[in-house]
Every structure is written in C-alpha cells, then in structure tokens.
Amino acid sequence: MKQISLNFPAKTKTCTIHIGKRIFERIGTLFDFHKYSKTFVITDQNIEPLFLKRIMKSLPIPNAFIVMVPGEKEKNIESVSKIWTAMHEAQCDRKSLVINIGGGVVCDMGGFAASTYMRGVDFIHIPTTLLAQVDASIGGKTGIDFSGVKNLIGTFNQPVGVIIDTQTLATLPKREFLSGFAEIIKHGLIKSEEYFELVTAKHPSKFTQSEMIDIVAKSIEIKTAIVQSDETESNVRKLLNFGHTIGHAIEALGLESSTPLLHGEAISIGMLVEARISHLANLLSISDLEKIEEALTTAELPVSSTGINIDKVLKKIKSDKKNEKGKVNLTLLRGIGDALYNQNVPEITIINALRKA
C-alpha cells in the first residue's frame, strides 16, 4: 500500500491518501475515527450494492447514510439540500465525519455538503472510479453545477483523508474506465513528458493492477505537488485546467441533450481543441499536436464532437469561472510536459480551433 501526505499550513490541515488493493476492510485502522461523534456516509445507487455494506461494517463508530441518484445532472443545490436534511435528521454535529463513496459527482457534491454543514465538518473521500481517484478526490475542490455552468458554486476545502482501492476499477464499465484516463494523460501533458509517454505507451486496458497503482499514485503526486504550492488556484494550480475551459463547455451542452458525454470524454475533446489553439498561437509544434491526437485516439477517447455549436460553446466559455475582467483565461501547451496558464488569445483563434472539433 502507498501513502501520500499533503500538508496545508494555512489551514493547519493534513490530508493522508492511502492507495492499494483490498484495503476497504482495513478502513477502520487507517484513521482515528474515535475522535468523531459519528460518520455520515454519502453514496449513490450504483455504488450502494457494490461497496456500502462492506465499508460501513468496517467503521468503528456509529454511522448513518444517504443514497443519491447517480449522474452529473443530480449535482445541484436540490441534491445538496437532501444531504443537509438527512445529516440534520441523523443528528450530525460539528464532530461528525462525512465519508463520500463514489465517483466525481459524489466527491464534489458530498465535499460541498460537508464544507457547508454547520460551517464545515471533516470529510473523507473513497473514490471508486478512475477519474475520481486521480482528480475529483484530490485537491480540495468541492462544488455543484448551477445555472447551466459546471461547478459554479463551491468551496476550497481539503478532505482529511482519501482511500483509494484500485480493485474498484474492475467494476467499471469500459467507457467509465477510459474516461478516467483523460485526466491521467492531462497530467503528463502539463507536467511530465516522460509520464505522458508511459501512460500512452499502450491501451489503458493493458496495464496490470500493479501498474495501475503506480499510475494512480504518480498522477496524484503530480496533482498534489501543484495543489500544495497553490491551494486556492491563484496561479500555478491553473495548469490543471488544461482542456477544461473548452471541455466543461462541451460537457455542459451535452447535459442539455439526450446523449451527454462523460467528464473525461468532454475533457479529451477540450484538450485537443486547446492543444490546437496552442498550435495556432505559435506555441505548440504540429508534431506534438499530432502526437496528442494520436494518444487520445489510441486510448479510445473522443477527439471531436458531432454537430458542435460554436456559438453555444463560446457563450459557455464566457461564463467560465476562471475568466477575469471579461477575458477568457486558457491553459495552453508550449510542448508536451510544458504548460502555460493565464493565456489570452483572439476569439477567432478559438473559433478556428473549434471548427476542426
């Protein structure tokens, strides 16, 4: 089992991350649960039959739980209100611990509910999807979608712990597993060409369990190093937004249709569009652009969106929370493993890149 510790002196908080396989039954030994009055578990209908009983059985203190409807469309204030109500009815107090078991939606929404209940209680993430293991559970971003904008409402608040059991990956549908690889590839693109080459060397399904533990750990190390130097996204943490300005817009529009994209699928398209913008802005070579497209295609991730409405994408981009003073702030690539944040380009450059999407 691997263990990573994140320290955030500004808030005197430490987050301990445990990564391994078959560690659910040992959860009670990984943290000091006895300092809490009770645990309140948040999960969804997909996860409940797979892991809920096993995990609750291993908790050494009284607990209560709520099972939510799964899906990004449920990541809203109404769902959070249900969680707050259930916590109140379970008599959760300021010494209660929230445990979020599930994918990115559960981690984002459960973290937000915990961050705001009684002005904030501690929480632990137990991410069960690859995407949540390398992204949503790490870094302390919590939030919900609002007014058609992804994660418009939220907080920066670190979990006190993250428990990652890579055996949960065996329960994922192929599409969900591949979606998670988009964020893994992103970590290589923004910070390490060597890591990019490693994770794109073969199809994601060809990596062994042991290799996946190492990949998840390395992705977490890349992300946590960035987050520890800039917890609230004032500067360098913006590197992690590569692919997300365009990707979030495409994802949000997809949620309004009958065929929504998974988060990682939308980010894959967003990364290629933003790589294309990087090339049009004379930052990224054509050979690196082609290498990125080939890597995403080999991983069976989408690189284009049928019938994309450029006007609607531009409208969504302009409401992106990363913008400042009316300017669209992009993270672009100067090369594989070399990213730049706070990049502004003419709107026509974005349009020309989207036309090829």
Across residues 196-216, what is the average pLDDT?
96
8 pLDDT exceeds 80? no
Using alpha carbons, select from 101, 75, 97 the residue that is nearest to residue 87: 97
Which structure tokens are listed for 309?
A: 């409405």
10 pLDDT exceeds 90? no
- The more confident residue out of 327 and 330 is 330
Torsion angle of the four alpha carbons 159, 219, 134, 180, in this order, in degrees rounded to the nearest 10: 170
pLDDT in tens, 138-179: 999 999 999 988 899 999 999 999 999 999 999 999 999 999
pLDDT in tens, 69-102: 999 999 999 999 999 999 999 999 999 999 999 9
Across residues 103-120, what is the average pLDDT?
97
Is 174-355 a domain of CATH 3.30.2270.10? no
* pLDDT confidence of residue 356: 86
Angle at 100 between CA 97 and CA 105, to 5 degrees: 140
11 pLDDT exceeds 70? no
Residue 258, Cβ neighbours under 10 Å: how many?
A: 5
Distance in angstroms (rounded) separating the CA atoms of residues 303 and 3: 35
Question: Annotated active-site positions, please?
Answer: 119, 141, 183, 223, 233, 237, 241, 244, 248, 263
Instruction: Please state the domain extents for the chain.
Output: 2-171, 174-355
**CB-based contacts of 169: which residues, under 8 Å, 6+ apart?**
129, 130, 177, 212
pLDDT in tens, 38-73: 999 999 999 999 999 999 999 999 899 999 999 999
* pLDDT confidence of residue 74: 96
Q: Quickly tell me which residue has 């994601």 as its tokens.
A: 204
**CB-based contacts of 49: which residues, under 8 Å, 6+ apart?**
none
Around 117, how many Cα atoms within 13 Å sit in the side-chain half-sphere? Answer: 29
CATH number, span 2-171: 3.40.50.1970
